[in-house]
Amino acid sequence: MRGFNTIKELLEAKEGEQFQFKEARTRFDVNETARSCCALANCGGGKLVLGITDKRPRQIVGSEAFDQPERTRKWLIDKLRVMVDFHLYDYQGRRVLVFDVASRPRGLPVQVDGMAWWYEGDSLIPMPEEIRRKIYEETGLDFSSNICTGATLSDLDDFAIEAFRVKWLEKSGNKRIKNLDTEQLLRDCEAVTDEGVTYAALALFGKRASLGTFMSQSEIIFEYRSSDASGPAQQREEFRIGFFACYDRIWDLINLRNDKQHYQEGLFIFDIPTFNERVVREAILNAVCHRNYKMGGSVFVRQYRNRLVVESPGGFPDGVTLDNILDRQSPRNRRIAEILGLCGLVERSGQGMNLMYELSIMEAKRLPDFKGTDDSFVRITLNGLVLDKKMLLLINKIGNDRLASFSTGDFLVIDALYHEKSLHKNLRSHLKRLTELGIVEHISRNKYVLARSLYEVTGRAGVHTRIVGLDHDTNKELILKHIRKNGDKGTPFKELGQVLPSHSRNQLKVLIRELKKRDLIYVIGKTSSARWFVR
């Protein structure tokens, strides 16, 4: 769908399955917002526009609804498990709020409180059953929803089922779940149907002996290795049992050797675990949801001192590549993903990859690495070491309130600019909002840099001056500009190396002498305590 980034374009847009206009002069019901966004996602994505009338000729009336749209956006993402962004427009003093909703995952309808919504023209209705069936057919046959011939309820583990019940009750708040008998509980989550026990039920709740009989490939193997040397692992545990019976145990094993990395910078103290629990759990959940159960082989979770590798049989699901992995969701095992989604384990329609990227950036670690992935296996490496403790100060400077409103793309922009990497074209749409928030500065037509205040808090103000000043004619002017910006606090000599990193110490001294000879700068102090000032 094309941009529609101006008020004029919005006024001319056709209301229907991709655009919904609401006056919402003073308020708008949050649950109706969720249902509308749900329907837009199921119809391929679209925009919910508040503050413009729906009837033509459209009028801009302005809306006071959702005075903290960042929080509403985050709530919608948690509710729908699809990406939602927002844009604010001011037209002659009238506020227009637009929620931009991404399309549903391939093969999986979006739901609100168990109900999938749909737009038929501009009418909001429950999704028709024939539409739902067509969506499920997009990814072909779902192996996990097939009935396992010969399996019965006695093949399922009571502990795993009760662990699921507790999590579903916590997520939904529906007290009825607490009193359901086992069979009804499993029927309500569609792990069991009138035809029998599904493979999803075995993968999530199966007993060890039953999995050995019906689904021996449904196994997770944990290994701890202190080095990359070949040979037996220092610790190895095999889990051929329903996922809900071993999920917490696998994390406990990893957490036994989960060192904290301690950093202190002035008043700020950071204790960063080598292995972030949410990132690790998401990686394992992805393996369970998306592995190919028709292939032999187990899911391997290999822990090393500073990294974790999760390997699962089967390449990426159909339609998913490294280029679109943050935007395209296509669960290979829909029934498993839906059951995990009921109890809140699966983020954003079974993907969770967005969360893994965001948390890695917030902890100044490498992004998840898929090196070694091919058509037969998905291999994801989570690197646990903090790469640059200064970036922790930058994240802290941005603040939790603003971070809570960030999309994955916002985080990736900050990561790329901080490490001076080129921006992927798909990320450039995030620059306008980040500039409005004062996090990014627009310095020329296609050139952006993080705000100087963010560089200053990391002690890298010279980097900001260098990037902004690359178009100046001489290196002396760059140095002079940087010293001038530092004002009364002065500039230490070592900071000039950040302005001109390709220059040696002697080359910098030559430039400083020339500026001093022209009586443009002077120095106070000696050796490492010396500071340069502009006259």
Summarised one tens digit per residue, pLDDT across range 469-524 is 654 346 788 899 999 999 999 999 989 888 888 677 887 888 898 899 989 999 99
3-state class percentages of the chain: helix first, strand second, coil last, to nearest 5:
40, 20, 40
Q: Measure the CA–CA gap between 120 and 484, rounded to whole angstroms.
A: 62
The sign of the CA dihedral 496, 502, 508, 514 is negative
pLDDT at 62 over 50: yes
Q: Measure the CA–CA gap between 491 and 499, rounded to whole angstroms.
A: 11
Q: What's the pLDDT at 4?
A: 47
Report which secondary-structure segment, H or E, holds 79. helix 69-80
Q: Which of 130-134, 313-317, 362-366 has the lowest mean pLDDT?
A: 130-134
Which residue, 467, 462, 138, is CA-closest to 330?
138
Q: Measure the CA–CA gap between 71 and 406, rounded to whole angstroms.
A: 10
**Amino acid letter, residue 30:** V
351 and 408, same domain (yes or no): no
Predicted confidence band of residue 6 (pLDDT cuts 50, 70, 90) = confident
**Amino acid letter, residue 522:** Y
Q: What's the pLDDT at 15?
A: 65
Predicted confidence band of residue 436 (pLDDT cuts 50, 70, 90) = confident
Q: What's the pLDDT at 14?
A: 74
Q: For residue 382, is it within any domain? A: yes
Q: For residue 357, is it within any domain? A: yes
Q: Would you say 86 and 97 are in contact if contact means Cβ atoms under 8 Å apart?
A: yes
Residue 168: both structure tokens together: 């579903």
Residue 254: both structure tokens together: 């990893």
pLDDT at 233 over 70: yes
Virtual torsion, Cα 11, 64, 28, 59, nearest 10 deg = -20
153 and 183, same domain (yes or no): yes
Which residue, 370, 280, 379, is CA-closest to 322?
370
Check which CATH number belongs to the domain holding 298 and give it: 3.30.565.60
Could you give phi then psi for residue 309, rounded to 5 degrees?
A: -120, 125
415 and 478, same domain (yes or no): no
450 and 465, same domain (yes or no): no
**Mean pLDDT, rounded, of the chain:** 89
Q: What's the pLDDT at 321?
A: 85
Q: What is the pLDDT of residues 207-225, one digit of tens each?
A: 999 999 999 999 999 999 9
Q: For residue 2, is it within any domain? A: no
- Rg, the chain, Cα only: 27
Q: Which residue segment(s) compose the domain that 528 sits in?
A: 461-534
DSSP secondary structure, 411-478, as one string:
HHHHHHHHTTPPPPGGGGGGHHHHHHTTSEEEEETTEEEE-HHHHHHTT-HHHHHHHHTTTSS-HHHH
Which residue, 1, 89, 5, is CA-closest to 41?
1
The mean pLDDT value for 391-414 works out to 88
pLDDT at 43 over 80: yes
Residues contacting residue 335 through CB under 8 Å, at least 6 positions apart: 142, 144, 145, 190, 191, 198, 199, 200
Q: Which of 48-57, 274-283, 357-366 has the lowest mean pLDDT?
A: 48-57
Predicted confidence band of residue 17 (pLDDT cuts 50, 70, 90) = low
Check which CATH number belongs to the domain holding 28 and give it: 3.30.950.30
Q: Measure the CA–CA gap between 248 and 489, rounded to whole angstroms.
A: 52
51 and 106, same domain (yes or no): yes
pLDDT at 100 over 80: yes
126 and 150, same domain (yes or no): no
Q: For residue 271, is it within any domain? A: yes
Q: For residue 120, is it within any domain? A: yes
Q: What's the pLDDT at 461?
A: 87
**Number of domain units in the chain:** 4
pLDDT at 42 over 70: yes
Q: For residue 1, is it within any domain? A: no
Q: For residue 480, is it within any domain? A: yes
Q: What's the pLDDT at 31?
A: 94
Q: What's the pLDDT at 502?
A: 65
Q: Which of 69-73, 133-137, 398-402, 437-441 has the lowest mean pLDDT?
A: 133-137
DSSP 484: H
Could you give phi then psi for residue 224, rounded to 5 degrees?
A: -115, 130
Q: Would you say 252 and 235 are in contact if contact means Cβ atoms under 8 Å apart?
A: no
Compute the residue count for the chain: 535
Check which CATH number belongs to the domain holding 509 and give it: 1.10.10.10
DSSP 26: S
414 and 424, same domain (yes or no): yes
Q: Measure the CA–CA gap between 330 and 138, rounded to whole angstroms.
A: 9
396 and 448, same domain (yes or no): yes
- Among 101, 135, 169, the domain boundary falls at 135
Could you give phi then psi for residue 132, rounded to 5 degrees?
A: -60, -45
Q: Which of 25-39, 317-331, 371-385, 402-416 has the lowest mean pLDDT?
A: 317-331
Q: What's the pLDDT at 473?
A: 47
Predicted confidence band of residue 406 (pLDDT cuts 50, 70, 90) = confident
Q: What's the pLDDT at 2?
A: 40
Q: Measure the CA–CA gap between 450 and 457, rounded to whole angstroms.
A: 12
- Among 457, 481, 511, the domain boundary falls at 457
Which residue, 342, 327, 321, is CA-closest to 164?
342
Q: What's the pLDDT at 155?
A: 98
pLDDT at 350 over 50: no
With a pLDDT cut of 90, the percent of the chain lying above it is 56
430 and 477, same domain (yes or no): no
Q: What's the pLDDT at 1?
A: 39
452 and 513, same domain (yes or no): no
- Tally of CB atoms within 10 A around 84: 23
- Among 341, 368, 387, the domain boundary falls at 387
Q: Which of 60-69, 272-281, 423-432 has the lowest mean pLDDT?
A: 423-432
pLDDT at 3 over 80: no
11 and 23, same domain (yes or no): yes
261 and 381, same domain (yes or no): yes
DSSP secondary structure, 292-305, as one string:
-TTS---EEEEE-S
